[in-house]
């Protein structure tokens, strides 16, 4: 008798916010590279999704779907929670907390929190390059509420509304963004595909006042676009026979 194992793989995933020389679909958001705000929202969440090269939007069947695809909240039946802490580059700390509760077999809600922050850093100036004895911190924070509904056995949709805030000394930048996700089982074995628009919202502008070295006060700043991403994914499981030994 033979045993079988499932190998889960992604056949195709496009992330259209990455740079491309030629493509059929416009490079949505690519024109904002280097000038969009809240870049921490693009940092992947969950060892499973990140380990799959972030090609997870058409899998998204655990609590990390709060980040990857809100429509995935109805692709599993358990109530789950996740907490992840990452020591990120240049002494940054990245944390994600999320929880999902199923109201019924067809409805699920979730809440999430994402933060990126530094330890206190000493302020330096042109005349005091080794430090002034005063310190400052940098921090990003995102709070999200999600809802997902399974419309049929094949099609699900989900939405996340997220409040985002960035703080640098006396300057704050705030915004509200939306994630929209869909999840569709084709009926051909385990094949399914998903479409996600994440971090969609209006431009944001810093608020607060900065005093320059010469004493000039600056309180007006330019606005920045959010890091909107458009993703399409396709996935299926293949049954591969493994002979018994």
Per-residue pLDDT averaged across 52-64, rounded? 92
pLDDT tens track for 183-234: 999 998 889 999 999 999 998 888 877 766 666 777 677 888 899 999 999 9
User: What is residue 106's predicted lDDT score, i.e. its pLDDT?
Assistant: 95
User: What is residue 223's predicted lDDT score, i.e. its pLDDT?
Assistant: 85
Check: pTM over 0.75? Answer yes or no.
Answer: yes
Place of tokens 């994600």: 96
Higher pLDDT, 159 or 33: 159
């Amino acid at each position: 008798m033979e045993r079988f194992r499932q190998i889960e793989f992604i056949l195709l995933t496009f992330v259209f916010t990455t740079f491309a020389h030629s493509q059929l679909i416009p490079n949505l958001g690519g024109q904002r590279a280097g000038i969009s705000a809240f870049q921490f929202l693009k940092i992947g969440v969950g060892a499973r999704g990140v380990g799959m090269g972030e090609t997870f939007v058409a899998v998204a069947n655990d609590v990390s779907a709060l980040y990857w695809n809100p429509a995935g909240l109805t692709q599993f039946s358990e109530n789950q929670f996740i907490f992840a802490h990452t020591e990120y580059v240049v002494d940054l700390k990245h944390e994600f907390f999320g929880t999902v509760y199923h109201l019924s077999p067809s409805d699920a809600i979730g809440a999430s929190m994402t933060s990126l922050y530094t330890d206190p850093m000493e302020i330096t100036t042109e005349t005091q390059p080794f430090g002034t004895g005063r310190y400052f911190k940098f921090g990003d924070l995102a709070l999200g509420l999600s809802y997902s509904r399974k419309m049929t056995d094949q099609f699900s949709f989900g939405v996340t509304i997220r409040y985002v805030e960035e703080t640098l000394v006396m300057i704050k930048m705030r915004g509200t963004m939306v994630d929209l996700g869909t999840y569709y089982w084709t009926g051909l074995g385990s094949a399914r595909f998903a479409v996600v628009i994440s971090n969609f919202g209006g431009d944001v502008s810093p608020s607060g006042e900065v005093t320059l070295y010469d004493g000039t006060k600056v309180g007006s700043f330019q606005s920045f676009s959010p890091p909107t991403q458009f993703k399409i994914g396709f996935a299926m499981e293949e049954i591969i026979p493994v002979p018994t030994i």
